[in-house]
Structure 1
Amino acid sequence: MAPTEAIMDVDMKDVNSPTTETETEVPKKDVDTVTTEDIREQLRQVEKSVMTKEPRFVFRVLRSLPNTRRRLNQVVLRRIIHHSYGAANKDKESLLNIVGGDESMEQASPLQRARSNKQGSLAPLPEVDAYIHMLVLLHCIDNNRIQEGIVCSDHLMQKIVAQNRRTLDLLAARCYFYHSRTYELASKLDTIRSFLHSRLRTCTLRKDFEGQAVLINCLLRNYLFYNLYDQADKLVSKSVFPESGSNNEWSRYLYYLGRIKAIQLEYSQAHTHLLQAIRKAPQHTAVGFKQTVQKLLVTVELLLGDIPERKLFRQSTMRYALAPYFQMTQAVRLGDIHRFNKVLETYGNMFQADHTYTLIIRLRHNVIKTAIRAISLSYSRISLADIATKLMLDSAEDVEFIVAKAIRDGVIEALLDHEGKFMQSKESIDLYSTKEPQVAFHQRIAFCLQIHNQSVKAMRFPPKAYNKDLESAEERREREQQDLEYAKEMAEEDDDGFP
């Protein structure tokens, strides 16, 4: 039996060997060729969207843009430019100069060369032209070629301004964002502010909701970049953000709105806007955006007197980004002035980069209030000099004013003796006999109702989906004719039943 099994094994190997050789003979395409084919398919989808007037094909292309962006290089872009533009087209030479490289980097087939020469000066569709320019702009941004990116972006904006096509609106909205991003990297955001305002007026008149949403966010980011909070607030009050805007644009808008309200001491509204921004943000991506929002949200919660949950700081995506804010939260919770000053000194530059330094400076009063509340609960009577020692303040007179303000704000229940220079705490009362449980319960109910209303408003349906169940005029006539015939048959049957 053993020799037979050996022969069978050898036969099986001989049978399988040609298949393996066939599989190895199939040539594998390199990454640049696959990327070029994918972009060509995207260009066909854009053309299909223009011909059929269906924006969903452009949506599909824009959704795949992050993946395409990671695979862009000079070889791919030069192939796409040669494939899309004629030999005598003016844009072809300018784009090739921006991309860089030389002819030796390309491996275009003779068929593609002949097609490019045959096209002559024929230009692609404006939508295809805008998409190719946007890809070149993204390549410049990712490779830190800001000056070339500015040239490409200005050229792209000139093309978009000259067009008035509804099929170009979605691509134009994305181009506005990258145009603003390019000038932000060059620290020249103030130079395009008037251009963004003019485009916002145009998009508002043309009912271009996506472009309107993107331009409002670009203007808000422009103002906040230079700390022009008053002008940003005026823009919010004078403009209406479109409800049909995408969730990503809504997330950005709510974040900017939260920053404005926080600076204006409207912490409750800022907290509401920031929570909505996190809920509308993508669940599995945009980690950097969610980290930025959480940093501001933690600061606002501390200013409101609340302590964020510890599990927030333990998340894998938030642990390192929120480490300074976790130490700040511990200092505020314990009312430790020394620890607060140490954290502020250590991470001051990081707080300034996060645009939370101004708000964190305000937390000093919260730390003092927390410390005074802890002291009032621990001591029934304590001198102002001892309070100054515990709070590491210079004089007892400053402590007297701080304690008086805490009593007036309802932070503590105590009496202040000016002549005796001491603070005497009142007996603690039953918390459930006050209105605090009712207020907390009301906040929870309002929060749940708000989520329900926002979920209902966020529901999306296909356009004219209700027409599927409705019958046409011809079908209605046929149904009525059948009903009449059926009624006559029923009448005849009734007549036959009664002679």
Structure 2
Amino acid sequence: METTEPSIDVVESKQCLQISSRLTFIELREFLTLVEQSAVKYDPRYVLKVFRELTPLRRELDAGSLLKVIKQTVPESQTHYGNLVGALADYDDAVMDEDFSVPTPRPDIDLFLHLLVQIFLHDKKDFNRLELFNQKTVIALAQYNERTLDHIAAKIWFYVFRSKEALKDTVSIRPALQTALRTATLRHDNEIRAAAITLLLRSYLLSNDINQAYNLVEKTEFPEQVTNSVVARYYYYLARIQTIQLDYSSANECAITAIRKCPQTKSALGFLQAATKLHILIQLLTGEIPELSTFRDLALEKSLTPYLAVTRAVRLGDLNLFNDALTKYGASLKKDTNYNLVLRLRQNVIKTGIRIISLSYKKISLKDICIKLHLDSELSAEYIVAKAIKDGVIDATIEHKDGYMKSNEMLDVYSTRAPQEEFDRRIKFCMALNNDSVRAMRYPLSTNRGEIKADVDFKEREQEILQYLQEDDFF
């Protein structure tokens, strides 16, 4: 019988996979070296560098290279070895004959390998296996208590929650997160503390437990000296909670902070879209019209199409246009969990229409207002106009006997307190931006110039600071 030889394309494909796996293995070994340096030098910048460079490597991460790194790093006698290898058993058929004799790794290396396995299983969408592995990972996490593990442990908790969210069971993880939050608060562990707060808030929002989320915000103090990605998520959740509770002014500030803290990378584009959508709705609910440049951003233009239609309806005060936008983009708004917030804008559309009418007509009958705003009856128009007058939307009076609205002369806006309030708001924003910039500055570890010159690694530290100071944190 003739044996069929593999084609050239198949051979080349196998060779490319082998080369890619070899390069991935080399990069993983470099990551372990940086994690170890971070623990030895007590400098979290090395771990943050690993997180930044890990994002593009995730696409090339394979079970073979990951198993090889584990077997060359963790001894078989350690309990965690079986957990790590067992989680990847079905993803690699290759048999390794080498017998590696390695010492027990540092806790940082051990937990980082657990994190790599979590990421691999998450990207493979094997959430059931990830859930089983997370149970063992949490036990391993409880065995260590070192501050050099904070950033890695915070990422581990994120993927623990992510598996629960994928399995639609975010309630059962709350006791573990609350325990982690209590322990991190006692240990002054800011990273895990911030991660636990944000994950608990997300759990409450997913189940619409707004009161519990608000109580958590009121009874906990969020640490500010953490990575920007966690800060951005916290302020986004806080903005959503305050919007639901009708505190639009505070929600607007939180939404702006979330957008400003969001890392400017492609991996954070989804979060930037969600935060921008929420900010647009908050602006509309406060009576402001978002700038047109917001909708023209190439990275956000397509996703903001429904919100542009809603904004156009609010700006024109056209109820028919608003109802058409709800009908056309209702599914997209529900997917973004913003549909109920958009429904609140119906009153804003009516108020805008009344404001336009009051500026255009000195006198107009309630019947004509009813026709222009597409209302049900003149009685509804009279009630809505009276409410707008009471809220200060328009400056007019209603002649009930003759059935018309009479607009008063416009006052000079500079004779009111509006310019002062706007100027005060801008000053507070600039001061907060300056304070955040000062806190974000990095200083040498020692102020003694003699000790700095005697430090062998000083030049290396200086170069790394210049290189990574402009880079964003991993999201």
Q: Is the 8 A contact 2:63 2:91 kept in 1?
A: no
Q: Report the Cα distance in structure 1 between the residues aligned to 2:334 and 2:92, rounded to whole angstroms.
A: 47
Deviation at 1:436, TM superposition (A): 3.1
Residue aligning to 1:257: 238
Identity %: 40
1:57: which partner in 2?
46
1:246 maps to: 227
Q: More displaced, 330-339 or 272-281?
A: 272-281
Report the Cα distance in structure 2 between the residues aligned to 1:442 and 1:91, rounded to whole angstroms.
57
Q: Which amino acid aligns with 2:135?
A: D
Distance 1:378 1:59, change over 3 A: closer
> Secondary structure, in 3 states, of the residue corresponding to 2:188?
coil
Q: Distance in 2 between matches of 1:333 and 1:219?
A: 37
Structure 2 CA distance for aligned equivalents of residues 280 and 195 of structure 1? 28
Q: Which residue of 1 aligns with 2:99?
A: 114
Task: Give runs of aligned pairs for residues 309-388 of structure 1, distance below 5 A.
Answer: 309-388=291-370
The residue matched to 1:318 in structure 2 has which SS? Answer: coil
1:8 aligned partner: none
Change (3 A) 1:125 1:441: closer
What is the aligned partner in structure 2 of residue 280 from structure 1?
261
Matches of 1:131 and 1:150, distance apart in 2: 17
Q: State the AA in 1 paired with 2:158.
A: F
Q: Determine helix, strand or coil for the equivalent of 1:190.
A: coil
SS in 2 for 1:160: helix
SS at match of 2:145: coil
2:451 corresponds to 1:462:
no
Q: CA deviation at 1:324?
A: 0.4
AA aligned opposite 2:124: N
Instruction: Report the more deviating stretch, 29-38 or 40-49.
Output: 40-49
Query: What is the CA-CA distance between 1:469 and the residue it aligns to?
Result: 6.8
- Report whether the alignment pairs 1:228 with 2:209: yes
C-alpha deviation, 1:104, in angstroms: 4.5
Give distance in 1, aligned partners of 2:295 and 2:283. 14
CA 1:262 to 1:104, structure 2 compared with 1: closer, same or farther past 3 Å?
A: closer
User: Is the contact made by 1:74 and 1:101 (CA closer than 8 Å) also made in structure 2?
Assistant: no
With over 3 angstroms needed to count, the CA separation of the structure-2 counterparts of 1:206 and 1:431, relative to structure 1, is closer
The AA in structure 2 aligned to 1:448 is C
Distance 1:296 1:38, change over 3 A: same
CA distance in 1, matches of 2:239, 2:415: 35
Query: Residue 3 of structure 1 aligns with which residue?
Result: none
Cα displacement (A) at 1:331: 0.3
Q: For 2:43 and 2:200, how far apart are their aligned partners in 1?
A: 29
CA 1:129/1:268 → structure 2, altered by over 3 Å: closer, same or farther? same
Partner of 1:208: 189
Preserved CA contact (<8 Å) 2:63 2:92: no
Q: Secondary structure of 1:401's match?
A: helix
* Residue identity in the other structure for 1:325: Y
Identify which of structures 1 and 2 has the higher relative contact order when contacts are C-alpha pairs closer than 8 Å and 6+ apart. 2
Partner of 1:15: none
Is the aligned partner of 1:293 residue 2:278?
no
SS at match of 1:382: strand
Structure of larger gyration radius: 1
Matching of residue 436 in structure 1 with residue 418 in structure 2: yes
- Is residue 392 from structure 1 mapped to residue 374 from structure 2 by the alignment? yes
Tell me: CA distance 1:184–1:447, structure 2 relative to 1, closer, same or farther (3 Å).
same
Within the alignment, does 1:127 sit opposite 2:100 as a pair? no
Distance 1:348 1:102 in 2: 41
Describe the shift of the 1:158–1:424 C-alpha distance in structure 2 as closer, same or farther (beyond 3 A): same
Of 1, 7, 20, the residue aligned with 1:31 is 20
| Distance in 2 (alpha carbons) for counterparts of 1:366 and 1:263 | 16
Question: Deviations along 1:347-381, whole A, 9 cap, x unmatched?
Answer: 22221221222211110110000000111112221
Q: Distance in 1 between matches of 2:249 and 2:232?
A: 18
Secondary structure of the 2:364 match is strand
Q: Give yes or no for contact 1:74–1:99 (8 Å, CA) kept in 2.
A: yes
User: Following TM superposition, by how much is the alpha carbon of 1:139 offset from its aligned partner in structure 2, in angstroms?
Assistant: 1.1
SS at match of 1:424: strand
What is the 5 A alignment of 1:186-201?
186-201=167-182
User: Hey, what does 2:64 align to over in structure 1?
Assistant: 75
SS in 1 for 2:172: helix
Look up the match of 1:10.
Answer: none
| 1:80-138 superposed Cα distances (whole Å, 9 cap, x missing partner) | 222223345554344333224476436x5x6xx132xx45xx64333222111211111
The DSSP-based 3-state class of the residue aligned with 1:347 is helix
Are residue 164 (structure 1) and residue 145 (structure 2) matched? yes
Match of 2:29 among 20, 40, 44: 40
TM-score by length of 1: 0.83
**Matches of 1:43 and 1:426, distance apart in 2:** 73
CA distance in 2, matches of 1:368, 1:201: 48
Structure 2 partner of 1:155: 136
TM-score, normalization by structure 2: 0.86
Consecutive unaligned residues in structure 1, runs of 5 or more: 1-26, 473-499
Change (3 A) 1:64 1:471: closer
Change (3 A) 1:441 1:171: closer
For 2:149, the aligned partner's letter is: L
**Equivalent residue, structure 2, for 1:14:** none
User: Contact 1:69–1:135 at 8 Å: present in 2 too?
Assistant: no
State the distance in 1 between where 2:269 and 2:333 align. 19
Question: Which residue is 2:434 aligned to?
Answer: 452
Provide the secondary structure at the position in 2 that maps to 1:338: helix
When residues 458 and 57 of structure 1 are mapped into structure 2, their CA distance, relative to the original with a 3 A threshold, is closer
Task: Output the CA distance in 2 between the equivalents of 1:329 and 1:141.
Answer: 37
Give the AA of the match of 1:447: F
**What letter is aligned with 2:391?**
D
CA shift in 2, pair 1:61/1:438, >3 Å: closer
For 1:67 and 1:344, the matched residues in 2 are separated by: 38
Contact in 1 for aligned 2:364/2:405 (Cα 8 Å): yes
Q: Which amino acid aligns with 2:19?
A: D
What's the offset of the Cα at 1:471? Answer: 11
Residue 412 of structure 1: how far off its partner (Å): 1.1
- In structure 2, the gaps of 5 or more residues are 1-14, 454-475
1:103/1:149 CA distance change after superposition, 3 Å: closer
Q: Secondary structure at the match of 1:423?
A: strand
Give the distance between the partners of 2:90 and 2:421, measured in 1 at CA.
66
Which one-letter code corresponds to 1:154 in the other structure? Answer: Q
Question: 2:91 and 2:374 mapped to 1: Cα distance?
Answer: 68
Cα 1:399–1:102 shift into 2, 3 Å? closer
Letter in 2 for 1:182: S
1:403 Cα offset (Å): 0.3
The residue number in structure 2 matching 1:97 is: 86
Contact 2:37 2:46 in 1 (8 A): yes
TM-superposed CA distance for 1:422, in Å, is: 1.1
AA matched with 1:203 = A
In the alignment, does 2:402 pair up with 1:417? no
Distance in 2 (CA, whole Å) between partners of 1:251 and 1:176 is 17
